[in-house]
Amino acid sequence: MKELSLKKQALITAGSSALMRALGFGIRLWISRILGAEALGVMELLARLFSAFLSIHLKSYALAAGGDAIAWLTAGLLAFFLYLVVWKREVRKFQRT
């Protein structure tokens, strides 16, 4: 298989990124028309919550695979406190609107 040049790889990456952003924007418009703005806001909050839990899980898994319980506990607590800070900020944003 022939390798692509760096320029072609960059163009493919940029093009696919632009396409995915456009599709995401279109889906948000479609969902906001069907469900309304309030439901879209709740969905965004739930998506951030899901990504925070996923991040905590992935970080703790990598550390737990090393077998160091203290490092796992420290990373879990740090991720939990960072999640609380992000959650508090998002709740404030939601209350302002």
Concatenated DSSP letters of 6-51: HHHHHHHHHHHHHHHHHHHHHHHHHHHHHH-HHHHHHHHHHHHHHH
Q: Residue 14: pLDDT band by 50, 70, 90 thresholds?
A: very high
Distance CA 97, CA 86 (A): 17
Position 14, amino acid: A
Distance CA 37, CA 94 (A): 12
pLDDT of residue 16: 93
Stated pTM of the model? 0.43
For 26-84, how does the pLDDT look when each residue is reduced to its tens digit (9 = 90+)?
A: 887 887 888 787 777 777 788 788 777 777 776 665 655 566 667 777 777 777 777 77
